Amino acid sequence: MINTEHADLLKLSPSERLLLVQDLWDSIEAEDIPLTDWQKDELDRRKAAYQADPSTGRSWEDVKRRIIEKHG
């Protein structure tokens, strides 16, 4: 459900809304938001799994290529 206080944002073009989302995300990214214990545990688990078998990892180029192939 859209907050009526922000309904004017829907009048922006899709590309303008996408830029707004990026700006909002960048502003959140700049904040020092602590991880939850669950998130820390999950990151530790994934790091340990990768260190145990590095062949399970993928390069950023491979990940990006697969995303583009799937979503354009």
pLDDT in tens, the chain (72 residues): 677 888 888 899 999 999 999 999 888 877 888 899 999 999 999 999 999 999 988 999 999 999 999 997
Task: Indicate if 71 and 48 belong to the same structural domain.
Answer: yes
Let me know whether 23 and 55 are in one domain.
no
User: How many folded domains does the chain comprise?
Assistant: 2
Structure-token match 């998130």, residue found: 39
Task: Label each residue of 16-66 as H, E or C.
Answer: HHHHHHHHHHHHHHCCCCCCCHHHHHHHHHHHHHHHHCHHHCCCHHHHHHH
Residue 38 to residue 25: CA distance in whole angstroms: 22
| Residue-range definition of the domain harbouring residue 58 | 34-72
- Decide if 17 contacts 9 (C-beta within 8 A): yes
Assess whether 39 and 21 both reside in one domain: no
Residues 44 and 27 in one domain: no
Indicate if 45 and 15 belong to the same structural domain: no
